Every structure is written in C-alpha cells, then in structure tokens.
Amino acid sequence: MSSDNDRGWNIVWGKARTSVVARALGKKKNGDISYLTLLGWVLLGLFVYVQVL
C-alpha cells in the first residue's frame, strides 16, 4: 500500500522526469546540448547499468 507521501513523491519525480526529458529533447538556440544535460544522461545511464548488473 502506498502512502500519500509516496504518491506526492511520485508526482514530484514525474514532473522532474518530464521536465528533464523536455529539456533534453528540446533544441537549444545554438543547437548544443548543455553539459549539465549530458552529465545527467551519463549518470542516468550508469545508474541503469548498475541496476541491471
């Protein structure tokens, strides 16, 4: 059973994910992906890789 707190965190994480994906897929004015976005994708990739092992 999930508590109200869990549901709140799921909403927060859902908004954060949506925001990150929108930023990552959205084109910048200069066409470059920011270093922070790139770093985020690298960290996410490493996290998923470690979870799969």
What pLDDT digit, counting tens, does each position of 6-26 carry?
Answer: 776 676 676 767 676 666 666
pTM of the model as a whole: 0.37
- Higher-pLDDT residue of 35 and 21 is 35
The CA distance from 6 to 13, in Å, is 10
- Higher-pLDDT residue of 13 and 44 is 44
Beta carbons within 8 Å of 5's beta carbon, 6+ residues apart: none
